[in-house]
A = this chain, B = another copy of it.
Amino acid sequence: MTRITEIRNAVVPISSDIANAYIDFSKMTASVVALVSDTIRDGKPVIGYGFNSNGRYACKGLLDERFIPRLTEADPEALIGEDGNIDPARAWPLLMANEKPGGHGERSVAVGVLDMALWDLAAKLAQAPLWRLIADRWNDGEVAEQVFTYAAGGYYYPGKGLDALKAELRSYLERGYRVCKIKIGGVPLDQDLARIEAALEVVGGGQNLAVDANGRFDLETAIAYAQALEPYGLFWFEEPGDPLDYALQAELAQHYAGPMATGENLFSHQDARNLLRHGGMRPDRDWLQFDPALSYGLVEYKRILDLLPEHGFSRANCIPHGGHQMALNIAAGLGLGGNESYPDVFHPFGGFADGARIEDSMVGLHQSPGVGFEQKAALIAIMREATET
């Protein structure tokens, strides 16, 4: 039986000079944790790593104050599943002991970091890629060998004009992406439309371009954008209003026939259920972007997936936010609709295995045990350095 002998908790900067319509990322940080086990392979302990997805800050204090102590104080046998391996689903209620319901933010990130590290450790102990472990447990072993992905970029940053935007998108196409996403809502509508038209020149049509307002609009502005955007036939119109303003989302569906996407800022199955109940999302065209790493991890994300059929949705409606390998494993192992990618930002936490080839916006899978961090040299180097492992 494997025991976790030590937990390291570190913070690294992932700052950049980009901005979306809501925040700038100049002080963005990420937590990195390492679960050191007493199982030795090749003379070294097997270690599970986890980090938090972008857009939310590192959660070192929360991890130190509550969540790591609960894990270290747990009976090691309580973490072990019937197969004798570490089972993150058994760790989850121990992590959440004596937490009141509601208020799903920040702690959902802390639990997500540990959940990722537990899955990485479990898959390494099983000597299997995580997507295999997930598919065997919850998807009758069925794996999508190729996963849809799109290039998220098109941020605002100082001095960036239309030529720079076009050059950015051109470079995504050169790297194998077909669908690209740009930010809107950070400048007035007419300037955003000029950005969109410039982008369309590069990507070759609305079906290859998504736009993301990052929750910036009130209903009136959202409708004005919707009316202006609809003729372009875009891949999707993302997060028009505040993520919790389900009524706005539902009303906007009356004004926009094209696909919409939202959910990256909902961090629990209760919040996700409210979007499904009250948000007017349309299963025949809309997309759900819950980020498993920000939302209490895969254990909770599976609860979200299990809610979908009751509301007419399927896993194929899900393209998680975050652009991280954790979500890629989940997308492959559970048959999601795809996975975000940030080819140029949040490195090295975003992005896939080194040498992963993207063709027509489809990406293949890593073959190494765990989440695949060891297949991304810059990422595993930072994780090891930050956690001194």
Contact = CB atoms under 8 A, between A and B. Distances in A.
A123 to B, nearest CB: 28
A101 B265 contact: yes
Given A61-B60, A61-B65, A277-B247, A23 B55 contact: no
This chain: how many copies in the complex? 2
Contacts of A120: none
A73 to B, nearest CB: 10
Q: Which of A57, A97, A99, A106 has the most CB of B within 10 A?
A: A106
A247 B307 CA distance: 15
A294 B270 CA distance: 19
Contacts of A26: 98
Interface string A210-252: 0000110000000000000000000000000011111100000
A100 B66 CA distance: 23
A59 B25 CA distance: 23
A312 interface: no
A66 B61 CA distance: 11
Q: Which of A64, A108, A245 has the most CB of B within 10 A?
A: A245
Contacts of A23: 97-100
Interface string A90-127: 00000001111111111110000000000000000000
Interface of A: 22-27, 29, 55-62, 64-66, 97-108, 214-215, 242-247, 265-268, 270-271, 273-274, 277-278, 294
